[in-house]
């Protein structure tokens, strides 16, 4: 028996002192219009803010945004903290402008996957692709994607 898409709940937000909010706001809009139940934490969140919200809302996934280039410092130990909070298996997704140095994408992706993120997105990924990946990762069937915004 498969769950309906609105039964999947997601926690979204920007981690650290970063105020860049445009990317995550578009994603939240797009995710809601796809049908997901989205709990938005906005800017200025710690790892514990995400984890507390995930426990409270029994979330299926945490989507972390970081545009300032300090992601490595900010998400270090995220998976371990989830494990300590008994949500060790939750889907962790990371996107934005993650590093300040120039390096091959494979290196960046590998670094954050080793830190326990299940999905690490390239800078400038478009909403459609990010949502497709999320549907695959959470095993959600595609035909439920038919909602449109009110305009």
Is residue 41 a contact residue for another protein (CB under 8 A)?
yes
CA distance 123 to 141: 26
Taking CB under 8 A as the criterion, which residues in 68-127 touch another protein?
126-127
CB of 88 to another protein, least distance (A): 28
Identify the residue among 9, 30, 70, 87 touching another protein (CB under 8 A): 30
134 Cβ contact partners less than 8 Å away, ≥ 6 residues apart: 31, 61, 63, 93, 119, 140
Burial classification of residue 63, based on how many CB atoms lie within 10 Å of its CB (0-12 exposed, 13-18 middle, 19 or more buried): buried
H helix or E strand, kind and range, residue 11: strand 9-14
Active-site residue, 18 included: yes
Which residue stretch of 16-24, 64-72, 88-96, 136-144 sits at the interface with another protein (rule: CB under 8 A)? 16-24
Structure letter (DSSP) for residue 6: G
Number of residues that bind another protein (CB under 8 A): 20
Binding site for another protein (CB under 8 A): 19, 21-22, 25-26, 28-30, 33, 40-44, 126-128, 149-151
Residues recognised as catalytic: 18, 20
């Amino acid at each position: 028996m498969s769950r309906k898409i609105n039964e999947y709940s997601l926690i979204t937000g920007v981690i650290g002192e970063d105020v860049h909010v445009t990317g995550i706001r578009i994603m939240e809009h797009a995710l809601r219009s796809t049908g997901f139940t989205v709990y938005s934490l906005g800017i200025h969140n710690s790892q514990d803010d995400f984890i507390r919200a995930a426990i409270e809302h029994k979330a299926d996934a945490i989507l972390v945004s970081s545009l300032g280039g300090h992601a490595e410092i900010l998400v270090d130990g995220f998976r371990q903290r989830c494990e300590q909070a008994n949500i060790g298996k939750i889907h962790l997704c990371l996107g934005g402008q993650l590093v300040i140095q120039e390096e091959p994408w494979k290196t960046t992706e590998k670094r954050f996957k080793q830190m326990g993120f299940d999905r690490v997105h390239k800078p400038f990924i478009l909403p459609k692709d990010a949502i497709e990946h999320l549907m695959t990762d959470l095993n959600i069937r595609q035909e439920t994607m038919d909602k449109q915004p009110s305009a």
